[in-house]
Amino acid sequence: MSSFLPFSTGTRLPPCQIVIFGATGDLTARKLIPAVVDNARLQAFPMPVQVIGVARTAQDTETFRNQLQAWLNPEQRAVWAEFAPNIHYFSIGSGTPQDYADLKQELEDLAGPAAPECGRLFYLALAPALFAPTVEKLAAHSMLVDDQLRVDAWRRVVIEKPFGTDLGTAQWLNLTLRKYLREDQIYRIDHYLGKETVQNLLSFRFQNAIFEPLWNRQHIESVEISVCETLGMESGRAGYYDTSGALRDMVANHMLQLLCLTAMEAPGSLDADSVRGEKFKVLSALESFRDSQDVWDNVVRGQYVSTPNLKGYSEEQGVPPRSQTETYVAIRARIHNWRWNGVPFFLRTGKRLNRRFSEIVVHFRVPPVDLFSGPLAADVCRLRPNSLTLKIQPQEGMQLSFLVKQPGAKPIMRQATLGFDYKDLFAGDTTPAYQRLLLDATMGQATLFIRGDEAEAAWRFCDSVRAGWQDPEAPPPFTYPAGSDGPLQAADLFRGCEGTWSAGHE
Ligand code: BG6
């Protein structure tokens, strides 16, 4: 007997079609199809699911299925023969009105008797310039009509990143989308929110009573958020990346989402609007930089240069000569609210660094009196004994650091840690981000997606950084050797006894 729900009427929940635009692209083959197959394999979808890949290329369904198979892991391949009949391909040609009318008909035909109640998720895995025109064309053919009274025949649209390139373009995109869709039909994706360890930030903070009383400016001295990559430019990516840079590619979305989850107040509930409302408040309190000098003092941008073994950014294929695009950015950010005023949030992300790790380190203040070291000279910094590290990847876990007394007559203190590793407690790997997010989107759960106002607030902050860089007086990006830990100048963002960047926890 088939382990998949048959695509038919009369099931627990009405069926759903996932319509992927950009079906011949990388994201579809590498992430989306494996995520759908895994959700089906693990019977996570509470409804029968059909996938319809849509792209310009003229090819048939059989060819499409064969291309996808190459990207599956052995577990996915084991169920492929059974699931593949649920995958179809439709060539949209040049996207004329007739092409869209044909697509509409094809979706109805594929849904068969289930068509009137079949929900549809339009996943736009497209170049950003095509988001608005595609939604306009779908709307022109009444394919986005979601009658709220008939909850079953829902229509939703998933938008990949980047959501605009600055505040103005994000506002324009939001306005355009909202002409045809309600906000609750729009799912702006940030795959970091689908990561298990990122979701755990909320659970950890708000399901445990011991840390929350300390989670504020009285007890926390600074917060460090790092997303460090060893990857340089993957082939074919320079065209996009060179117009984006680390600020738009990573800070405007992933990094600021991590900051929000670390800094937000407890939401009233886990529903989409409560959580996103609290994140929006953090982004609204995130201080934009006042002027160019403020940017130069608090933001460091860098670009990797060649070493005997590794290419520099400007030698990567497709990068224009003399490009000034930043492949690294470090920011000393400020949140102007009661909880966080005066606590620096250090953000850092970069390509071609010496280690790949993402983590959040919360540094607690030193005790008011040091009984063990005796009085220190005014200019000597005391050791910061307590920090909590939330390891996001590749290690997944947590670590709490503290001081203990070394056995013996002398009062010598040593750093010790308490650690938790996901692998020790939970067998198997954590669920990949896209698997979780696709499931949530089909189920109408928007908590892990970004609301329009959040996207705009994030751009407002990033635009203030770019304004400082665009100043004709602005210094060019600092350089750092490929495979190093970034530009040395990034250490200057720490002042006085604030310490320096974490080397990353293994
Ligand atoms: C993407 C960026 O959104 O995230 C990439 O465009 C980056 O440049 C990637 O490499 C990092 O994601 P992850 O999940 O590998 O940390």
Residue nearest to ligand 1 atom 2, measured at CA:
249
Q: Which of 219, 254, 336, 505 is catalytic?
A: 254
Neighbours of 492 (CB within 10 A): 14
If asked whether residues 147 and 55 sit together in one domain, one would say yes
pLDDT in tens, 30-78: 999 999 999 999 999 989 999 999 999 999 999 999 999 999 999 999 9
- Residues 1-33 as b or e (16 or more Cβ within 10 Å = b): eeebbebebeeeebbbbbbbbbbbbebbbebbb
If asked whether residues 318 and 380 sit together in one domain, one would say yes
If asked whether residues 154 and 218 sit together in one domain, one would say no
Q: Tell me if 131 sits within 8 A of 157, measured CB to CB.
A: no
pLDDT of residue 10: 54
Secondary structure letter of residue 329 according to DSSP: E
Q: Is residue 185 part of a domain?
A: no
Q: How far apart are the first and last CA of the chain?
A: 45
If asked whether residues 156 and 275 sit together in one domain, one would say no
pLDDT of residue 152: 60
Cβ–ligand 1 contact at 229 (below 6 Å): yes
Residue nearest to ligand 1 atom 9, measured at CA:
250
Residue nearest to ligand 1 atom 5, measured at CA:
249
Rounded to the nearest angstrom, the distance between the alpha carbon of 164 and the centre of ligand 1 is 17
For the chain, count helices (H), then strands (E): 15, 15
Nearest atom in ligand 1 to the alpha carbon of residue 249 is 6
Q: Tell me if 251 sits within 8 A of 331, measured CB to CB.
A: yes
If asked whether residues 429 and 322 sit together in one domain, one would say yes
Q: Is residue 175 part of a domain?
A: no
Grade residue 3 by pLDDT with cuts at 50, 70 and 90: very low
Domain carrying residue 23: 16-160
pLDDT of residue 425: 87
Q: Is residue 389 part of a domain?
A: yes
Known catalytic membership, residue 336 = no
pLDDT of residue 2: 41
E strand map for 25-166: 49-55, 87-91, 119-124, 155-159
pLDDT of residue 4: 55
Give the integer Cα–Cα distance in Å for 488 and 82: 54
Q: For residue 336, is pLDDT > 60? A: yes
CATH number at residue 363: 3.30.360.10
Pocket test for ligand 1, best of 193, 230, 231, 353 (most atoms within 8 A of CB): 231
If asked whether residues 143 and 26 sit together in one domain, one would say yes
Cβ–ligand 1 contact at 249 (below 6 Å): yes
Give me the helix-helix angle, 167-180 and 452-470, nearest 10°: 160
Nearest atom in ligand 1 to the alpha carbon of residue 229 is 10
pLDDT in tens, 434-475: 999 999 999 999 999 999 999 999 999 999 999 999 999 999
pLDDT in tens, 108-162: 999 999 898 899 999 999 999 999 999 999 999 999 988 766 656 899 999 999 9
pLDDT of residue 431: 86
Percent of the chain with pLDDT over 90: 84
Neighbours of 243 (CB within 10 A): 13
Q: Is residue 6 part of a domain?
A: no
Q: Which residue has the tokens 């929350």?
A: 212
CATH number at residue 64: 3.40.50.720
For the chain, the average pLDDT equals 93
pLDDT in tens, 344-401: 999 999 999 999 999 999 999 998 887 777 666 666 788 788 999 999 999 899 999 9
Pocket test for ligand 1, best of 27, 191, 392 (most atoms within 8 A of CB): 191
Residue nearest to ligand 1 atom 4, measured at CA:
250
Give the integer Cα–Cα distance in Å for 327 and 229: 10
Rounded to the nearest angstrom, the distance between the alpha carbon of 68 and the centre of ligand 1 is 22
If asked whether residues 293 and 418 sit together in one domain, one would say yes
Residue type, 435: Q
- Boundary-marking domain end, from 141, 160, 179: 160
* Mean pLDDT, range 339-348, rounded to an integer: 98
Whole-model pTM? 0.95
Q: Is residue 1 part of a domain?
A: no
Q: Is residue 423 part of a domain?
A: yes
pLDDT of residue 202: 92
Pocket test for ligand 1, best of 163, 196, 229, 304 (most atoms within 8 A of CB): 229
Cβ–ligand 1 contact at 196 (below 6 Å): no
Q: For residue 312, is pLDDT > 80? A: yes
Q: Tell me if 184 sits within 8 A of 446, measured CB to CB.
A: yes
Nearest atom in ligand 1 to the alpha carbon of residue 227 is 16
If asked whether residues 304 and 369 sit together in one domain, one would say yes
Of the candidates 22, 253, 249, the residue with the CA atom closest to the CA atom of residue 124: 22
Nearest atom in ligand 1 to the alpha carbon of residue 433 is 14
Q: Is residue 182 part of a domain?
A: no
Rounded to the nearest angstrom, the distance between the alpha carbon of 445 and the centre of ligand 1 is 23
Grade residue 1 by pLDDT with cuts at 50, 70 and 90: very low
Q: Is residue 308 part of a domain?
A: yes
Q: Tell me if 403 sits within 8 A of 366, measured CB to CB.
A: no
Rounded to the nearest angstrom, the distance between the alpha carbon of 178 and the centre of ligand 1 is 28
Number of domains, the chain:
2
Nearest atom in ligand 1 to the alpha carbon of residue 254 is 3
Of the candidates 69, 119, 124, 70, the residue with the CA atom closest to the CA atom of residue 92: 124
Q: Facing residues of 399 across strands?
A: 389, 419
If asked whether residues 199 and 265 sit together in one domain, one would say yes
Look up residue 432 and give its two tokens. Answer: 């990949």
If asked whether residues 354 and 402 sit together in one domain, one would say yes
Of the candidates 45, 48, 51, the residue with the CA atom closest to the CA atom of residue 20: 51
Name which residue leads in pLDDT, 117 or 325.
325
If asked whether residues 341 and 441 sit together in one domain, one would say yes
Percent of the chain with pLDDT over 70: 95
pLDDT in tens, 239-283: 899 999 999 999 999 999 999 999 999 999 999 999 999 999 999
If asked whether residues 341 and 238 sit together in one domain, one would say yes
Secondary structure letter of residue 353 according to DSSP: B
Query: Cα–Cα distances in Å, from 175 out to 132, 155, 162, 189?
Result: 10, 18, 16, 18
